[in-house]
């Protein structure tokens, strides 16, 4: 009886022991699984990826400038007097030879008549003196030949005659030259254009009395340019024929142009270089000389690899991105080139089109982190 009781107690103890051991092992397994699940959640980070794209791009350099004409000429009055007529207004289209303004001829004609009369009187008086002295010389010559006067007397009259003849020649030359100049002054009372163009400004008014003043400015709009002042660094990247896009306030679409002139000597004041961009002729009628414009210079096109610029992380003086390798983030240093909208060119050889670049969630990553790609 006692043995049976002992046996029953042993069985119960063993049973309780087995039951207790089973519960402890299950708890340990469950606790271990919970730990693994927590580690996985903490080490796997959600990200979004994008593939690099291949595009044809150009380097772009921006500057600002002012629209200028092919040439600009100022026309001055060549004489003095009262403005009789002004034939043009700003904005008028003129051709070479067209009249711009006219000075009154009244004063000029009076001056012409007075001067001509004075010069003619001097000339005619000398003619009379020469004729008279020639007659006297002929008489004196006969007397000399007859032996009535010495040779010195004849030579003296001859010297006087030669002097008068030279004075007459000078007077005749002066008369002709002065009349030519005066006639030109009368003809120059009308100021005419020497080029085709557009009247930019008129500085005179009818009734004013002026002398040699600037009267009219005319622009030759055969070609229009944007003139920009650029640094030597930008100048090295440009050449004749470099394409450009031009933005002008008030015109929706960018205009096309190309570099037509490059000055190799900087200005003294700014030490910048003048570059002129020829504007496509189709746009000329919409533009005004003096308008300001933004110029984007475009270099030779090339094939490039681009990624979203939001993928770039800047660190000290360098930059890098994270790329996906299976389920792991790999840190990849990069060098950047030209920006194209929301994309940036990657010039590093390590960037290839088949990579998967992490574009969201990369801020808190470290190299080697496990990641989960969100759709």
Angle at Cα 20 formed by Cα 14 and Cα 26, nearest 5°?
A: 135
pTM of the full structure? 0.52
Instruction: Note whether 164 and 133 are within 8 A (CB).
Output: yes
23-45 core/surface letters (b: 16 or more CB in 10 A; e: else): eeeeeeeeeeeeeeeeeeeeeeb
Instruction: Note whether 226 and 294 are within 8 A (CB).
Output: no
Please state, in angstroms and rounded to a whole number, the distance separating the CA atoms of residues 77 and 100.
10
176-208 core/surface letters (b: 16 or more CB in 10 A; e: else): eeeeeebeebbeebbbebebebbbbebbbeeee
| CB-based contacts of 67, cutoff 8 Å, min separation 6 | 224, 225, 226, 227, 248, 279, 287, 288, 289, 290, 291, 292, 293
**β partners of residue 86:** 101
Domain ranges of the chain: 46-57+302-373, 105-186, 223-298
Domain 46-57+302-373 has CATH 3.40.80.10: no
Q: Quote the tokens at residue 18.
A: 């087995």
Please state, in angstroms and rounded to a whole number, the distance separating the CA atoms of residues 50 and 52.
7
Per-residue tens of pLDDT for the chain, all 375 residues: 333 343 434 444 444 443 444 444 444 333 332 232 223 334 588 999 999 999 888 778 899 999 999 989 999 988 788 899 999 999 899 999 999 999 887 877 888 888 889 999 999 999 999 999 999 999 999 998 888 899 999 899 999 999 999 999 999 999 999 888 888 777 778 889 999 999 999 999 999 988 888 999 999 988 899 999 999 989 998 999 999 999 998 888 889 999 999 999 999 999 999 999 999 876 666 788 889 999 999 877 788 999 999 999 998 878 999 999 989 999 999 999 888 789 999 999 999 999 999 999 998 898 999 999 986
Give the CA count within 13 Å in the CB-facing half-sphere of 20: 6
Same fold, 46-57+302-373 and 223-298: no
CATH fold of 223-298 reads Elongation Factor Tu (Ef-tu); domain 3 (2.40.30)
DSSP 205-244: -TT-EEES-EEEEEEEEEEEEEEEEE-HHHHTT--TT-EE
Sheet containing 99-103, strands listed edge to edge, beginning at the edge strand earlier in sequence: 190-192, 99-103, 80-86, 209-211
């Amino acid at each position: 009886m006692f043995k049976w009781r002992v046996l029953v107690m042993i069985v119960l103890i063993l049973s309780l022991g087995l039951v207790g051991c089973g519960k402890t092992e299950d708890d340990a397994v469950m606790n271990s699984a919970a730990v693994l699940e927590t580690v996985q959640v903490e080490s796997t980070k959600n990200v979004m990826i994008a593939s690099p794209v291949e595009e044809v791009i150009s380097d772009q350099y921006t500057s600002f400038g002012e629209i200028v004409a092919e040439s600009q000429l100022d026309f001055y009055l060549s004489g003095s007097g009262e403005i009789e007529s002004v034939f043009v207004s700003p904005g008028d289209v003129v051709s070479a030879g067209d009249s711009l303004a006219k000075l009154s001829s009244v004063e000029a004609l009076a001056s012409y008549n007075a001067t001509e009369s004075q010069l003619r009187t001097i000339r005619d008086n000398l003619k009379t003196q020469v004729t008279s002295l020639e007659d006297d010389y002929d008489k004196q010559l006969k007397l000399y030949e007859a032996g009535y006067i010495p040779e010195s007397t004849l030579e003296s009259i001859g010297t006087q005659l030669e002097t008068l003849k030279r004075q007459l020649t000078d007077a005749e030359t002066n008369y002709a030259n002065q009349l030519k100049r005066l006639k030109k002054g009368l003809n120059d009372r009308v100021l005419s254009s020497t080029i085709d163009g557009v009247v930019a400004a008129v500085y005179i008014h009818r009734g004013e009395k002026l002398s040699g003043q600037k009267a009219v400015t005319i622009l030759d709009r055969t070609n229009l340019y944007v003139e920009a002042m650029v640094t030597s660094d930008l100048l090295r990247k440009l050449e004749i024929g470099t394409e450009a896009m031009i933005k002008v306030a008030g015109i929706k679409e960018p205009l096309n142009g190309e570099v037509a002139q490059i000055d190799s000597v900087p200005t003294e004041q700014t030490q910048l270089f003048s570059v002129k961009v020829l504007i496509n002729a189709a746009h000329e009628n919409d533009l005004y000389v003096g308008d300001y414009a933004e110029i984007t210079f475009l270099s030779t096109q090339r094939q490039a690899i681009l990624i979203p610029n939001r993928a770039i992380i800047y660190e000290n003086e360098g930059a890098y991105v994270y790329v996906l390798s299976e389920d792991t983030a790999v840190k990849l240093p990069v060098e950047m080139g030209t920006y194209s909208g929301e994309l940036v060119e990657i010039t590093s050889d390590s960037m290839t089109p088949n990579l998967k670049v992490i574009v969201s969630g990369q801020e808190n990553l470290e190299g080697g982190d496990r990641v989960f790609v969100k759709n």
